Amino acid sequence: MIGSIDEQVRQWEEEGYLLLENAVQGAQLARLQRTFDHWAAACKDDWLAAVARGERIATFYDIPDPLEKDDIFIDLVDHPSWYELLLRATCGALVFIAPQVRTVPPWPLSYTGWHPDVSPTAPLHIKVQIYVEDVAPGTGEFAFVPGSHKPASGPYASPHRNESMPGHKTFPGPAGTAIMFNSYGWHTAMDNAGHVRKSIILIYEQRDPGNMRGDNFSAIADKCTTPERRALFRLEV
């Protein structure tokens, strides 16, 4: 990981991602793992029933409404390992969009192909992916094409096999690793040969008139007592 925040910002602007090693550690990581496992188990039967009814896909499932289930998920949103970096990337105009607390079972191929999440004409869109457990090579690790967030980059085509994408970089890592990336860039999860991948994806944008509805977070308004947190969760325009 690059040292000073100025060096990190320079890499962010040039390559479109930052690897944040040991971003979540110690007792907080242990609590996160316990909480993740508890709620993933509690929600699994509902997901399997929805798959059987044809209402959900079988390749992954997300814990519904995680911010309402435990404060540990709320505390990740403005975690000091990435919060200042997010503020710098958005010139202080940061808003939180949604969490994805995701379990990905083993599958012969990745559950997703290479893609950007949004058009470069959309407000700046940033994700932070946190590994809840160790993610070894070949177990669904995140991958990104450095520099692909820039408007003049590409063109890119999604290959049939994820490992065939030219110029990509993969990010296996231990539990507590986080990757912050510009969602204009091309990214994917690599194939997962035989291990359940547990991760959390936090979605942010640069403040814009079109993303200022905070209805999604009214249920946690009592947890957002500072002006900074209320602005982050779009509870105050």
Domain-wise residue ranges, the chain: 5-149+167-232
Kindly write down the DSSP assignment for every residue of 147-192, as one continuous string: TTTSTTS------SSGGGSTT-EEE-B-TT-EEEEETTS-EEE--B
3-state secondary structure (DSSP) of residue 115: strand
Question: Is the distance from CB of 217 to CB of 224 less than 8 angstroms?
Answer: yes
pLDDT band at 94 (very low <50, low <70, confident <90, very high): very high
Return the bridge partners of 227, or none. Answer: none
In the chain, the DSSP E strands lie at 17-20, 61-62, 94-104, 125-131, 142-144, 169-171, 178-182, 187-189, 197-206
pLDDT at 214: 59
CB atoms within 10 A of CB 34: 12
The pLDDT tens digits of the residues spanning 192-229 come to 988 899 999 999 999 998 777 757 899 999 999 999 99
Express as a percent the part of the chain with pLDDT over 90. 78
What's the confidence (pLDDT) of residue 27? Answer: 98
pLDDT at residue 24 tops 60: yes
Q: Is the peptide bond before 155 cis (omega within 30 degrees of 0)?
A: yes
CB 214 within 8 Å of CB 234: yes
**CATH code matching the domain that covers 5-149+167-232, chosen among 3.30.70.141, 1.10.3720.10, 2.60.120.620, 2.30.110.10:** 2.60.120.620
Q: Residue 1: which pLDDT band, with cuts at 50, 70 and 90? A: low
Q: Terminus-to-terminus CA distance in the chain, angstroms?
A: 35
pLDDT confidence band for 159 (50 / 70 / 90): confident
Tokens 């188990």: give the residue.
41
Q: Which residue has the tokens 């200022």?
A: 212
Query: What's the pTM value of the predicted model, to 2 decimals?
Result: 0.94
